[in-house]
Chains A and B, each alone.
Chain A
Amino acid sequence: MIRRRRNRELDDEIAAHLRMAGRDRVERGATQAEAESAARREFGNEALIKEMARGAWGGAWLDRLNQDLAFAIRVLAKSPAFTLIAVITLALGIGANTAIFSVLNGLLVRSLPFPRAYELVWVANSVGSGPSGTTSQSFTFRDFRRLNRSFSKMAAYNAFFPYVSYNLTGKGDPERLLGVGVTEGFFSLLGVQPAIGRFFLPEECVRGARSVVVLTYGFWKTKLAADPKIAGQMLIINGAPVEVIGVAPPSFDFVSVFTPGARVDLFTPHYIDRESDRHGNELAIIGRLKPGVTLAAAQTEMSALADRLSRERGYTIGAQLQLLEDRVTGPLRRPLLVLACAVGFVLLIACANLSNLLLARAAARKKEIALRLAVGASRLRLMRQMLTESLVLALLGGAVALPLAFWGTRTLANLRRTSIPMLGQVEFDIQAFLFTLVLSTGAGLLFGLIPAWQATRSDLSDAIKEGATGAGGAIHRDRARSALVISEVALSLMLLGAAGLMMKSFLRLLETDLGFRPDHLVMVRVDPGPQVQDKTQLTAFLDQVVESARQVPGVDGAALTDAVPLDRDRSWGTGVVGESYPPGQRPIAFVRAVGPGYFSVMRIPVLAGRTFDSHDRPGSETVVVINESMAKQLFHGQNPLGREVWAGGKCRVIGVVRDVKHSALDQEAGLEFYFPYSQGDVESADLVVRTTLEPAALASALRRKIWSFAPNQPLSEFRTVDQLVETASSPRRFTLVLLGIFAALAVVLASVGIYGVINYSVGQRTREIGIRMALGADAARLEWQVVKEALGLSLAGSMLGLAGLAILSRYIASLLFQVTPTDPAIFTEVTLLLIGVAAIAGYIPARQASRVNPVNALRVE
């Protein structure tokens, strides 16, 4: 307010001066007009003097900033197309970067959600592969815990928890819950505090103690409506009352750390005693290092301890230590870093585009700037004004990016059926946002500086004249702009190439022969719980379930298995009866208990012999079906049919089937055998149904039938096997989809860049083109000349990009599947694609140019 009054006063003061000077001249005999212009001439540059007088007031910088801001906004508003493109470009760059860096920060930089997470160590058995190979036996755990000197605490959980039955009744429909057995001290080792109630007491971790459970936060909230008085209440689990003693905090997400993509509802005590000593490998062991003990020192001690125990027991025990953090996030590191690089490229391209736009504008405004310099604007002031413009652009971009980044991060965090650890805990990261904002603002300032500097440095009279005689001459090709476009194309090609390689890998992955047909398969866990007393009853119950399923209209077949491929895994030692294997060389095979009809329902081809039928019952000869790999490795080309192998006990081989993928799409099958569930130790099983029905339709039909004879049978979670495949390929898809989005973004930005440059150079040559048109030039030839320019730029960029891609692809080689990092088809395809896009981006201005009306063109300016 005060400033405005002062400004007015200054205007008045100077007006008064001019009036008085003029009047003096009139008195001395000049005419009114002469006097006025003479007084004005004598006075000098009015605007400049006012500016200098204002400079004496102090606080001028604020004034100027205000002016610059207002000016910048006015200028930007005057060219909405430019502003829109620049802001969108920046917003996409900043938004994508923030989302990816939020994920990166959440997964890689930030540690696990436990106090002093760097002390937590994963102790794997490391004998053989698969979950059975990395888990340990009960007494190994007991010995480790008792004898080690490196750890302040050691605890474990049952890695095979999905096989254990927790059938909840009395709360709506019966439901099969997933509960993890944890040993005493598991929560205190991790440093987790209960949200409600308490965790297990030592006396509750002994067999025969009162049954107690701790609920996960998610289960308590969704299933029990977040009942605040839950502690002390009873739940009916497996037909018996169990006391709820506490609820784990929301920050403790067991699943996302230890078994991403799965679900857990509750925790129970896992007893370590003589009974559990008879189980196989089942415990996942976690230790907390004593302060000051390094991982290497602990590894040395534990290796020695494992060797000693191996000698004492006569079979191999391993202890492979790994920081829990590395175990959880290690496999993610490379894909995430690749994504970070990709998104960084996008930001680079966005910045290049922005500076390209600014350069073009600066060139277009050369005349304006020269004029302003000529009338006395200070160079510094002009540069500051142009910088303010870039700054305003960058901030606008940031403002638009903010909701974009927020939404992007949320979308990533809420991806379902994705086995990426801790993804659900990822939050919008304000630091990542500010970081990218500062980065892009810096880039904006830097790139704003170059044109500002260029523009203010140019020769005034030349610049003013140039506009007037634009046709005279030389086509002004801006090297800086071409270089920017070339690097944009190069970066885009690298991104596109990387995305192409990943895409091809992914397609190869989906094409891989799973060994079974996953489509049209619906599965549901069947768990008879305590209502069956012995194996005969169990078999009868399961047979009845399968029979009911087969009677549902629309069902093409149904069978049982205790472990659907890609869903669960366990492995046992095996071998040919009568052969001896050196210690540590005993073959290990994946194990599935299946029912009659399993192979035909899954469409697993039978290669030799027969599969199970109703004659394979408890008490009849124990039989197994083995897979191709096992037949090859154990029998070396001899006929395995009729031979005996170790499969729990001695079993006769009755059939050989094709391999199936058991745990991941990109891993080989390994040895595998099947036994009839009627002859094995099975508590619960998955009913697999081949049907054209939707899961929901099958669910209601099946529930009606099964609940008629087993009313407490939980049949809650109907899944499709296709979903399992989706989950199994999810980390790869996650990387691929994001990379694809970034590559598409890069191509769009690069083509905008090419369009901008060509359009600008065409605009510069409007007069030239007009003249040539007037002289009868061929439109097609003109178009071709313009397109050629675009092609030249994209070709140069592509060559650079191909070289970059060759380097980059070596880095992502480990992420590829059955695709070489220098796949010539991909390299060719992305190059052609980019050149094609460039041709189109160049053709649009070319067409406009060839439609120029010569008369109008010559009249320009």
Chain B
Amino acid sequence: MPRKERYQNRIELLQGTLDMLILKTLQWGPAHGYAISQAIRANSGDVLQVETGSLYPALHRLEKQGWLASEWKQSESNQRAKYYRLTPSGKKQLASERARWAQLVSAIAGIMRPEGGRP
């Protein structure tokens, strides 16, 4: 039973939002894949769980696009890990995604207004 519950408390990520979340997370500074997934989970109050099957392909895709750069560094717990950080063009991309997201949210909010319907 607890398994099922856990799944019910999670929300599927909207298509394309993972990229934005990764970029946003990296705004605070470089991080490795595990840290990114943990950060998204923690910051969403355990609602958003990033599947590793989506995370790593997304990281590699963003890196290929030039929005992320990576380097191998020692982690705080003395582990070698691959750290991703935002590039300048990644910052620009984050800004434009943020704007698009705001647009999307207000558009959906407009439709979903409780007193909605025709005036």
Contacts and interface: CB of A to CB of B under 8 A. Distances in A.
A binds B: yes
Interface of A: 9-10, 12-14, 16-17, 19-21, 23-24, 42-45, 48-50, 52-58
Nearest to A6: B60
B101 interface: no
Interface in B57-80: 57-61, 64, 72, 75, 77, 79-80
A20 B56 contact: no
A20 B81 contact: yes
A57 B52 contact: no
A208 B59 CA distance: 98
B10 to A, nearest CB: 13
Nearest to B38: A24
* Residue of B53, B77, B79, B80 with most partner-chain A CB within 10 A: B53
B50 to A, nearest CB: 11
Nearest to B52: A43
Contact of A20 (B58, B72, B75): B75
B109 to A, nearest CB: 33
Contacts of A56: 57-58, 60-61, 64
B115 interface: no
Interface string B68-102: 00001001010111100000000000000000000
A49 B53 contact: yes
Given A13-B82, A45-B53, A20 B61 contact: no
A49 B57 CA distance: 7
A20 B34 contact: yes
A15 to B, nearest CB: 10
Contacts of A14: 56
Nearest to B82: A13
Nearest to A50: B56
B5 interface: no
Contacts of A58: 64
B64 A17 contact: no
Given A13-B81, A23-B77, A52 B57 contact: yes
Contacts of A16: 32-34, 75, 79-82
A9 B82 contact: yes
Nearest to A54: B60
A44 B64 contact: no
Nearest to A16: B81
Nearest to A49: B53
Given A20-B34, A45-B53, 13 more contacts: A9-B72, A13-B33, A13-B56, A13-B81, A13-B82, A16-B32, A16-B33, A16-B82, A17-B32, A20-B32, A49-B57, A53-B56, A56-B57
A818 to B, nearest CB: 77
Contacts of A48: 53
Nearest to B37: A17
A57 B79 CA distance: 26
Contacts of A53: 56-57, 59-60
A12 B61 CA distance: 18
B60 A57 contact: yes
A44 B77 contact: no
Consensus secondary structure, chain B interface: helix
In the complex, which of the residues A24, A42, A53 has the most CB atoms of chain B within 10 Å of its own CB atom?
A53
A20 B60 contact: no
A17 B53 contact: no
B39 to A, nearest CB: 13
Q: Which 3 A-B pairs have the closest CB atoms?
A: A56-B60, A56-B61, A52-B57
Nearest to B32: A16
A48 B51 CA distance: 13
A57 B70 CA distance: 14
A21 B51 contact: no
Contact of A52 (B38, B56, B75, B81): B56
Contacts of B51: 44
B68 to A, nearest CB: 11
B63 to A, nearest CB: 8
Nearest to A42: B52
Contacts of B53: 44-45, 48-49, 52
B56 A49 contact: yes
23 contacts: A9-B82, A12-B80, A13-B32, A13-B82, A16-B32, A16-B75, A16-B81, A16-B82, A17-B34, A20-B75, A20-B77, A42-B52, A43-B52, A49-B53, A49-B57, A50-B56, A52-B56, A52-B57, A53-B56, A55-B57, A56-B57, A56-B58, A56-B61
Contacts of B72: 9, 12
A16, A42, A55 — most chain B CB neighbours (10 Å): A16
Nearest to B80: A16
Contacts of A21: 34
Contacts of B52: 17, 42-44, 49
A2 to B, nearest CB: 13
Contacts of B57: 49, 52-53, 55-56
Nearest to A14: B56
A43 B34 CA distance: 10
Contacts of A42: 52
Q: Which of B60, B81, B82 has the most CB of A within 10 A?
A: B60
A9 B60 CA distance: 12
Contacts of B79: 16, 19-20
Contacts of B60: 10, 53-54, 56-57
A4 B77 CA distance: 28
A53 B58 CA distance: 8
Contacts of B77: 20, 23
* Residue of B34, B57, B72, B80 most packed against chain A (CB within 10 A): B34
A19 B35 CA distance: 12
Given A14-B56, A52-B57, A57 B64 contact: yes
B57 to A, nearest CB: 4
B82 A12 contact: yes
Nearest to A23: B77
A48 B57 CA distance: 10
A44 B51 CA distance: 8
